[in-house]
């Protein structure tokens, strides 16, 4: 968890206080704000840090498989059950269970999770003998659970059980002071290759990124850093290297193609000179020529291209 802005530091302090307790936690926030990282932070700073941290994507488990995946089964409990299976909750015993996308669970699945939280026990399929559990639950959602409760789509009793401690993660647009730190971190993570320097963004590019609204939040920033790290740009990332959505130009249909055509026109069709102007490698230039269907004029030599708008 990286940042120095006041919203971020306030959240981190709250998470540290929560981690020292044993209560259930509900983490809310838009997609991509780092809810799983926040849950991992709570676990890593709790007394359970040496025990398992099990992440369960509630949206990915259909109701028909829920009990088997979470509670497990005994050998012979059903056709094909050739061996016993502990289930995810038993595997997390002593540790923390992260219920991601809890708002996407059906009402019947919510009832089963509620019982586990209240009773701290599960029964495997094929037995009536309960297994006692020592688990801390942390849940997360990008949905408005109060609105879902008003529409009878989320159980109020489960909401109150989960939200003993509640934390809302701010969107990246609400903590833009942290953007340079986050960007630097991900550029280090996605170095172009072993021993190579991380990519850098020019001041003009950074200003463009600070103007952007970041609907995908930190996840979108991470993806941008990875994409730029493999783009083959030599030198700092300039505004023309950024995807269209980060740019201020109107009618920006394909700025990359326009930048490529402009550089080639400036260079008189010379690929090497155009690549230098764009801070691209020759291989990147060739790849972009193919991508944008800009043909080489073979009659004039490999260094010259024919461009058409």
163 neighbors 64 (Cβ within 8 angstroms): no
* CATH code, residues 6-170: 3.40.50.300
269 neighbors 284 (Cβ within 8 angstroms): no
**Predicted local distance difference test score (pLDDT) of residue 78:** 64
Q: Which two tokens stand for residue 220?
A: 């979108």
Q: Domain ranges for the chain, please list them.
A: 6-170, 172-252, 254-309
**Predicted local distance difference test score (pLDDT) of residue 298:** 42
Three-class SS state of 64: helix
Question: CATH topology of 6-170 equal to that of 172-252?
Answer: no
Q: What is the CATH topology of the domain spanning 254-309?
A: Arc Repressor Mutant, subunit A (1.10.10)
Q: Which two tokens stand for residue 128?
A: 């009536």
Question: How far is CA 76 from each of CA 51, 63, 79, 85, 263, rounded to the nearest angstrom?
Answer: 30, 21, 7, 11, 69
What is the full per-residue pLDDT of the chain (309 aa) written as tens digits?
899 999 899 999 999 999 999 999 999 999 899 999 999 999 999 999 999 999 999 888 888 788 778 887 666 566 666 677 677 888 889 999 999 999 999 998 899 899 999 989 887 777 778 889 999 999 999 999 999 999 999 999 999 999 999 999 999 999 999 999 999 999 999 988 787 889 999 999 999 999 999 988 999 999 999 999 988 888 899 998 888 888 765 444 466 777 787 778 777 788 888 888 787 888 888 888 888 877 655 444 444 454 444
Question: How far is CA 80 from each of CA 26, 71, 73, 124, 142, rounded to the nearest angstrom?
Answer: 37, 17, 11, 15, 37
- Strand blocks (E) in the chain: 25-28, 53-57, 96-100, 121-122, 131-132, 136-141, 165-168, 295-296, 305-306
**Predicted local distance difference test score (pLDDT) of residue 249:** 52
> What is the H or E stretch that residue 272 is in?
helix 271-278
**Predicted local distance difference test score (pLDDT) of residue 76:** 58
Region class of 255: left (phi > 0), else alpha (psi between -120 and 50), else beta? alpha
* DSSP tally for the chain: helices H, then strands E: 13, 9
Residue 265 CB burial class (10 angstroms; 0-12, 13-18, ≥19): exposed
* C-alpha to C-alpha distance for 68 and 80, rounded to whole angstroms: 13
CATH 3.20.20.60 given to domain 172-252 = no
DSSP one-letter code for 163: T
Q: Which two tokens stand for residue 140?
A: 């997360």
**Predicted local distance difference test score (pLDDT) of residue 103:** 92
């Amino acid at each position: 968890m990286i940042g120095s802005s006041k919203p971020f530091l306030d959240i981190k302090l709250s998470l540290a206080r929560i981690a020292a307790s044993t209560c259930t936690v509900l983490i809310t926030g838009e997609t991509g704000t780092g809810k799983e990282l926040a849950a991992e932070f709570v676990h890593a700073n709790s007394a359970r840090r040496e025990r398992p941290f099990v992440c369960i994507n509630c949206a990915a488990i259909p109701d028909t498989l829920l009990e088997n995946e979470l509670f497990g089964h005994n050998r012979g409990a059903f056709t094909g059950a050739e061996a016993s299976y502990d289930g995810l909750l038993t595997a997390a015993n002593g540790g923390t269970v992260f219920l991601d996308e809890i708002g996407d669970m059906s009402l019947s699945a919510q009832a089963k999770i509620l019982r586990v939280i209240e009773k701290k026990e599960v029964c495997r399929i094929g037995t009536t003998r309960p297994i006692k559990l020592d688990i801390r639950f942390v849940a997360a959602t990008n949905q408005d659970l109060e609105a879902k409760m008003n529409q009878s789509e989320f159980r109020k009793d489960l909401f109150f059980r989960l939200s003993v401690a509640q934390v809302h993660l701010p969107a990246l647009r609400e903590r833009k002071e942290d953007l340079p730190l986050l960007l630097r971190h991900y550029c280090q993570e996605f170095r172009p290759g072993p021993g190579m320097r991380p990519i850098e963004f020019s001041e003009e590019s950074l200003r463009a990124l600070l103007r952007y609204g970041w609907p995908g939040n930190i996840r979108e920033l991470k993806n941008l850093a990875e994409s730029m790290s493999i783009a083959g740009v030599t030198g700092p990332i300039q505004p023309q290297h950024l995807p269209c959505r980060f740019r201020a130009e109107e009618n920006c249909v394909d700025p990359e193609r326009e930048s490529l055509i402009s550089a080639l026109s400036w260079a008189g069709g010379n690929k090497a000179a155009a690549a230098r102007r764009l801070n691209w490698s020759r291989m990147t230039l060739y790849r972009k020529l193919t991508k944008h269907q800009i043909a080489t004029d073979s009659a004039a030599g490999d260094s010259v291209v024919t461009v058409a708008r």
